Structure 1
């Protein structure tokens, strides 16, 4: 593992050699998640959505407070005109030219048919939904970054394979040239290996470019400096991965899966909307109070140039009679939305159950693949030892030795990839249960 880490560092050094400002940074999964929580633009957007929902709840609760209105005006009054009923005999009426009006009115709703309570309940559920959406997006970003991270690990692994194969090919070419000078090999053999060398160089370049792309995606999502070169922490593969029974994963998903929780909240939101629509068919009762100060007094002729103050308190009742025949369809629609939300929840349960089962099967398959690769490494080591002994006793050719070395190297690196796949499928299990 230490050799792999050293080679990864060397590969990253080669990848960033084009920029003098490039900075290498070894990063583990947990640090990856921490930086995503702090810097991911997607997570920040959903976090702002939570703040919006918090304010919406405060707005809904404010509907319980009284409505208080105050108005103050000053005006200029022109002289009046007085006619008979047939608009004859006009007479000018002197008017005081300064007019004033002050009003203070207050209204406290004491019963609204449950509209205010339902509105607050909807806002509370909206806040829960915003929080669940933030958590779900957080899980998605974490799983996305985990995929990028492990793919970057695999790409470095591929670079190691290609680099070693290039070195082996160079040795074969050098050996072939020496044998050609001795007349025991043909130029055509050298050409064949030179073609292989160029193909390996092209493949290495393609993988290095893929590394740059994957690194850029990680750096961009984490909002790190553009010149940062991320190096996967090779100790990740040393961690012990313990699996659970499928039944335990299913129970975990039933408790933690955010899609199911959102579906449940959606049911409660639609139930609250039913109550809100039903409240439209009930009367609204409020306590009212007012204070007025007006002048001049224009209900008298001649007009009285005085201020007139009056106040009142009382109870107001308002009933929308048209709601009896207008609100029926809306109420039926709201009830149908409740049924639809319940059906959506049952569908989500089926989808989550299927997703957990499929992920669990793939998780077990990755362990099978790991055991197979471990056996391949054992066989490749045995083959290498046998070929090496035969080569030392001049019973095998150099090409046989190089083939055995290449097979051993590929087996070792396939084992690393298999371990990476186990880690990936473990994190996928945590993702489908939303416990990542």
Structure 2
């Protein structure tokens, strides 16, 4: 009966495991593929791309100022007992009856084509062009940030995966050791207390493995969201992720590349140019506006008046005299914006310099840290080998053996994490230097 129950439980477990595996979609993903998918699915980029469309609309509006304005208007009026008194002689020798006027029809078309506005239109168009280019550069700058965000998420997924591999291997070794120690205890060779110490360490490894799997699951959800994948997609990272070229150039190289390639610096420069043109545009109110004008008028008052083919053309001049005594608030505002952008440019320059130098030092530190962990792993492996031999010969205690094994496990995990962190530190330097997407 007990055997039958165990068999039933085993079948249920296998069926449930198969169902879970079928419900999940496993996708092997290289780092480059993750970057490409993240770019195409980024919600942040979609917001910035919409801002480009907005700036394009502003440019179109500015260009429309060059086109003539054409207005059509018309009216039909019903009049109630209108009193009509002609002041112009009608040419009739005898006074006639006044016609009954009860309606009127009027229509007109007016054309105005600006030919001079103090440069306001031209400055507005050029300024809008600069802002369009600046908005496009903002998108490119955001792409660099998105690329690093994806790199960071992929790196976390890789670290969690490697931690699982190391811990699973250590758990298998620990479980095999527990089986051997149990036999030694049963044969009276090993004390029960020592066997329990070993099992306690095995349990600790199991807990670490559970924690690593939980970290992997959370990192996997984050990647699914970043890449626009279904939430049930299970991502397998590329085992050759750390083999990428992470050669480090001189510090000055990255600083030079940052000021040459960073899109936020270029966008700010275009914004400053646009602001300068806005200042010039604000001065245009001191000049008159000149436009070509034309029109057509038609009217009909039944039994009284009919007007057709009333065409007119000319030049219109408009000058706002109040600009002579009113302060130009638009000019003050545009000059203030210019000052703000200049200060922002100086601030950004300092921030870029600091960020590049900081990330360069972090990259160097991460590589040196990896070198130390590599030596530490060699030392931990050798220490465990020696301690294990001593334990087999009765020259080392169980505590010393377990401590050596713990140190070896920690060294393996530390080295894997350090290599991944060094790879991410280099990508951060590339992002700060404007090179991550090149």
| TM-superposed deviation, 1:82 | 6.5
Partner of 1:222 in structure 2? 227
Aligned counterparts of 1:226 and 1:279: Cα–Cα separation in 2: 57
**2:47 corresponds to:** 45
After TM superposition, the structure 1 stretch with the greater mean CA deviation from structure 2, 269-278 or 163-172, is: 163-172
Instruction: Determine the C-alpha separation between the residues in 2 that align with 1:166 and 1:284.
Output: 85
Q: Which runs of 5+ in 2 are unaligned?
A: 1-15, 86-96
Distance 1:220 1:416, change over 3 A: same
User: SS state of the match for residue 152, structure 1?
Assistant: helix
- What is the deviation of 1:46? 1.4
Bigger shift: 255-264 or 173-182? 173-182
* Equivalent residue number for residue 310 of structure 1: 310
Q: How many pairs align?
A: 410
The Cα shift of 1:344 comes to 1.2
DSSP-derived class of the 1:326 partner: coil
1:313 partner SS: strand
Q: Provide the residue aligned with 1:356 in structure 2.
A: 356
2:433 matched to which residue of 1?
A: 433
Secondary structure at 1:197 match in 2? helix
User: Cα deviation per residue 1:11-46 (whole Å; 9 max; x = unaligned)?
Assistant: xxx999845321221212211111112111211221
Distance in 1, Cα, partners of 2:403 & 2:200 = 17
Aligned residue number for residue 35 of structure 1: 37
Shift of 1:216: 0.9
Which stretches in structure 1 are left out of the alignment for 5+ residues? 1-13, 84-91, 298-302
Q: Offset at 1:222?
A: 1.1
Instruction: Give the superposition deviation at 1:370.
Output: 1.9
Asked whether the equivalents of residues 198 and 402 of structure 2 are also in contact (C-alpha less than 8 Å), the reply is no
Determine the structure 1 residue equivalent to 2:68.
66
CA distance in 2, matches of 1:394, 1:184: 11
* 1:108 pairs with one of 89, 110, 113: 113
Alignment counterpart, residue 270 of structure 1, candidates 268, 275, 279? 275
Contact conserved, 1:80 with 1:93, CA < 8 A, in 2?
no
Match of 1:423? 423
Change in Cα spacing, 1:52 to 1:333, as seen in structure 2 (3 Å) is: closer
Q: Distance in 2 between matches of 1:167 and 1:76?
A: 100
Alignment TM-score, normalising by the size of structure 2: 0.85
Taking the aligned partners of 1:329 and 1:65, their CA distance within structure 2 comes to 27
Alignment check: 8 A CA contact 2:99 2:304 kept: no
C-alpha distance 336-285 of structure 1, shift in aligned 2 (>3 A): same
* Matched residue SS, 2:242: helix
After TM superposition, the structure 1 stretch with the greater mean CA deviation from structure 2, 288-297 or 67-76, is 67-76
Query: Comparing 352-361 with 408-417, which one deviates more in the overlay?
Result: 408-417
Superposition TM-score, scaled by structure 1 size: 0.85
SS in 1 for 2:278: helix
- What CA distance in whole angstroms lies between the structure 2 residues aligned with 1:199 and 1:401? 15
Q: 8 Å contact 1:132–1:258 — kept in the other structure?
A: yes
1:120-135 map, 5 Å: 120-135=125-140
- What is the alpha-carbon distance in structure 1 between the residues aligned to residue 170 and residue 150 of structure 2? 30
Deviation string 1:129-162 (CA, Å, 9 cap, x unpaired) is 2112211221111111111110111111222233
